[in-house]
Amino acid sequence: MNGVVRLILHRLALGALTLLAVSLVIFVGTEILPGDVAEAVLGQGATEETVNNLRKLLGLDLPAHIRYLQWLGSLLQGDLGTSLTTGKPVIEMIAPRLENTLFLAGTAALVAVPLAIGLGLVAARFQGSWLDKTISISTLAAISMPEFFVGYILIFVFAVKLRWLPSLAKLSPSMPLGDKLVLIILPCATLTLVVLAHMMRMTRAAVINVMSSPYVEMAELKGATASRIVMWHALPNALAPIITVVVLNLAYLIVGVVVVEVVFVYPGVGQLMVDNVAKRDLPVVQACGLVFAGTYTLLNMIADILSTLANPRLRHPK
Amino acid sequence: MTLRSLSFWFGASIVGFFLVIAVIGPWIAPYGESEAAGDVWLPFSHEFLLGTDSLGRDVLSRLLYGTRTTISIALIATLLSFAIGMTLGFTAAVMGGFVDQIISRAVDVLMSIPMLIFALVVLALLPSSAVILILVMAILDSTRVFRLARALALDIAVMDYVEAARLRGEGLGWVMRREVLPNALPPLISEFGLRFCFIILFLSAVSFLGVGVQPPQADWGGMVRENANAIGFGLVLPLIPAGAIFALTIAVNLLVDWQLSRSGLKRVR
């Protein structure tokens, strides 16, 4: 057991290091580019003096490494800086949005993950059937489809033609949960469709891979039913790759959510980020980028740790 | 005709069609790229085969111009991504040691940030131009090419014929070009198709979000953005360019599948 703890601690440390590197990259990414924030914000018409004043105000006259440490220091205290366009603290702008984004992505995950694993198992159980073939064709379609295509088709059919559901998901904090859920049905369905096929296909592949091992043949010879073999013998051993795929797709969900939020005018972090990219409000963009990249890194770390726990072979590194 | 060759001909004819449109599109377009030719949101008619958009421009013409813009930007970005990724990947694999460590760790860090998020952060500061868009996409995407190229070259670098070439005194460039490249080519070709699809989707997403190709220039993702409101009025307008993106990527995917099975490779994802 000691070995597992050490392996997990190792992975956690690596994750923390990655987060630090991510913060550095986001900082440097906006640092080494030609021109600076002050010029970008004020535009070409600004005089030398106003640009210099804004630079001083933003602390841009300090050397880069000091600014990074200052930025990182206040970041660790939960201070994400002040928005250039609204003058409000960035944390106040992001916090309610983040709640909405997690609500949307979380609901989509709750729908997509059980559905994908269930369908994947059924496909593995009935290998070569029409269902199995449908799954492999729909995977090809799903990876070729831009998120906004799925979103607008759903809007066109269910909101405009059938008028069953609202086309925009303009959430407000005071709404009761039931109303919120109705509003996010379409964005949720879009996200689900985007990640479903890949998860399904990988679940199927992982189970079928295990199905070719000798102990499954043994179970077959013993006379176990096909469903029992899939559920009792194949699934536990296919768990590690399935967990990895699920969490990686959740990480993908976090990115896909940006486009989906814009399609449905959903008040989440993605929409906030895109709006502020247009306004060139750098502190907000940096903070949103950090939130997304941080979540992504975290999910990747969780995927690694979970698959270590699920696979006895990985618990004993050579 | 088998199913496999059927899907090849299906994929090849769609890709061929789009490539021809990309070349001759602007010449056969009935109206100019940003010419206000009629009223706003006109339905399909003889005059405007696919109707007009929110500014009264001919949708068919913009689609034809957009095909050239989208495909050429994506193609150049993919080529550049492969040039960077393959050069660095082969170098890392053949030289190994310190060089390999530095490039590999840098790539790890870049890959720990989702590409779209990174692009949004960077494009928030940079001026909007096609060159910068291509550079950003190519550099970010080259990390994926690097991983594959390095893995392939690592397997090849330990072969006897590479050893022999090195003992003969051939230079690094010669070894990479004459020994590593030809042997790594088949998987790289199918990867090229997949990366091209990814970049088409990525470019469309970035343009859709408003930081990609800038109006009045037409591109597929931007056309979806410009006409998004039309969907609320029951018009299929934004679905037309979105459908073009879908058709092209699925066709390239069919070709990739065909190429993979022909050279006995398995698809990774």
* Prediction ipTM score: 0.87
Q: Do A146 and B204 touch (CB under 8 A)?
A: yes
Per-residue pLDDT tens digits for B73-131: 999 999 999 999 999 999 998 888 899 999 998 898 888 888 899 888 888 778 778 89
Average pLDDT over residues B202-206: 94
Residue type, B262: R
Q: What pLDDT sits at residue A3?
A: 72
Cα torsion A185, A186, A190, A196: sign: positive
Q: Which residues between 25 and 44 in chain A have a beta carbon less than 8 angstroms from any beta carbon of chain B?
A: 25-26, 29-30, 33-35, 37, 40
Amino acid at A11: R
Q: Tell me, what's the pLDDT at B83?
A: 95
Interface test with B, best of A140, A149, A297 (most B CBs within 10 A): A149
Predicted local confidence at residue A125, as pLDDT = 80
E strand or H helix at A63, and its extent? Answer: none
What digits encode the pLDDT tens for the residues B247-259? 999 999 989 888 8
Facing residues of A89 across strands? A82
Residue A71 phi/psi, 5° resolution? Answer: -60, -45
The whole-number pLDDT of residue B265 equals 65
What pLDDT, on the 0 to 100 scale, is given for residue A34? 54
Residue A106 and residue B192: Cα distance in Å, rounded?
34
Q: Does A302 touch chain B (CB under 8 A)?
A: no
Of the candidates A18, A21, A255, the beta carbon closest to that of B116 is on A255
Interface test with A, best of B116, B196, B202, B209 (most A CBs within 10 A): B209
Residue A37 and residue A34: Cα distance in Å, rounded?
Answer: 10
Mean pLDDT of chain B: 88
Hey, are the CB atoms on A278 and B211 less than 8 Å from each other? yes
Residues in a beta bridge with A11: none
B6 has a pLDDT exceeding 90: no
Q: How far apart are CA B42 and CA B50, in angstroms?
A: 9
- pLDDT-based confidence at residue B17 (cuts at 50, 70, 90): very high
pLDDT confidence of residue B157: 83
Q: Which CATH number fits domain B3-263: 1.10.3720.10, 2.120.10.30, 3.40.50.300, 3.40.50.410?
A: 1.10.3720.10
Contact A145 B246 (CB under 8 A): yes
Question: In the prediction, which pLDDT does A31 show?
Answer: 67
Confidence band (pLDDT; 50, 70, 90) for B52?
confident
Q: Which chain B residue's Cα is nearest to A43? A: B127
Which of A21, A40, A152 is opposite residue B238, by nearest beta carbon? A152
* CATH topology classification for A90-315: MetI-like fold (1.10.3720)
The whole-angstrom distance between A255's CA and the closest CA on chain B is 7
Token pair in block for residue B262 = 């022909």
So what's the pLDDT on residue A15? 85
More confident site: B226 or A133: B226
| Whether A142 contacts A200, CB under 8 Å | no
Say what the pLDDT of residue B269 is: 44
Determine the average pLDDT of the residues in B236-242. Answer: 90
Cβ contact A296–B210 (<8 Å): no
Chain A 137-166, residues with CB within 8 Å of chain B CB atoms: 140-141, 143-149, 152-153, 155-156, 160-161
Give the residue from B109, B110, B113, B126 with the most A CB atoms within 10 Å of its CB, the best one to mutate: B113
Give domain limits for chain A.
3-76, 90-315
Cβ-contact A73, A243 below 8 angstroms:
no
Residues in chain B: 269
User: A198 CA to chain B: closest CA distance, Å?
Assistant: 8
CA distance B168 to chain A (A): 37
Rounded CA-CA distance A206/A208 in Å is 6
List of chain A residues with pLDDT < 50: none
Q: What is the pLDDT of residue A317?
A: 55
Question: Which is nearest to B222 in space by CA: B23, B77, B30, B34?
Answer: B34
Give the phi and the psi of residue A264 in degrees, each rounded to 5.
-100, 10
Report the Cα B217 to chain-centroid distance in Å.
19
Query: What is the pTM for the complete model shown?
Result: 0.88
